[in-house]
Amino acid sequence: MSQSLQGIARGFVIILVPIVLVLAAVRAVLNPWFLEFEYRTPNFPPDSFGFTVEDRLRYSRVALDYLLNEEDISFLGEQRFPDGQQAPPGSCATMEDCTRMYNERELQHMLDVKAVVQASLKVWYGAMVLMLVIGVWAWRGDWMDDYCWTLARGGLLTLILIFAVLLLVLAAFGIFFVAFHQIFFEAGTWTFLWSDTLIRLFPERFWRDTFLVVGGLSILLGMLFWGTFQPRRQR
């Protein structure tokens, strides 16, 4: 019975490792350093409606803060363009609307994005706790070498999955991007005008690079797990 439970636990860990590693990479890019890196990347498309790099850095950090803090949507809803700036002509119905940084459609989407981000972080924390609990069980039960080998196999699984996803991103990012949104968001809630703030801050190039960076970091972590834990089984 104990051997059967250990086998189930090891199989569970193999599945948990890619979740932990990918979400660790996601959490890594949910930081100001990535905004600095991305907006200053050579040939990053400029905003045709007038945002400078400094504007994008300032406003995107507020959006990032919202995704990670405990504030409600008014945190973004109260954001206004500074004096001398406003939403592009034709993108707002009234003068008051033109001073608001985000329209109602954008605010609803950011509310949905925050729910996905917060849920993903909870999954990440939970997966790490489960891996730790199983690791303690393996240590106390004297099957730590098997557990380490399982971590290595989880790292290998991460490499296989991420390589497949990156090939799709590189070959057909548009299809991948649409499919991603169809999975996580309700239809019709994630399409915007070119003049909307979310598109001006986060054009398609931003999201393509985000997926590539998350994929690259996940591959590095997968290689680290594969290289670090595999030898334990061979001793």
Residue 7 confidence class, pLDDT cut points 50, 70, 90: confident
Instruction: Count Cβ atoms within 10 A of the Cβ of residue 5 and give its class: 0-12 exposed, 13-18 middle, 19 or more buried.
Output: exposed
Query: Please, what sign has the CA dihedral across residues 111, 59, 204, 49?
Result: positive
DSSP letter at 86? -
Distance of CA 37 to the CA centre of its chain: 16
pLDDT, mean of residues 49-76: 95
Q: For the ranges 97-101, 120-124, 178-182, 203-207, which has the lowest average pLDDT?
A: 97-101
pLDDT, mean of residues 188-208: 92
Q: Are 39 and 53 in contact (CB under 8 A)?
A: yes
Whose CA is closest to 198, among 52, 34, 74, 59? 59
| Structural domain count, the chain | 1
pLDDT, mean of residues 9-21: 95
Q: Are 155 and 224 in contact (CB under 8 A)?
A: yes
Distance of CA 33 to the CA centre of its chain: 14
The token duo for 126 is: 């939970």
pTM for the model: 0.91
pLDDT at 96: 67
What angle in degrees, to the nearest 10, is found between the helix axes of 144-171 and 2-29? 40
Range of the domain at 46: 2-234
More confident residue, 80 or 234: 80
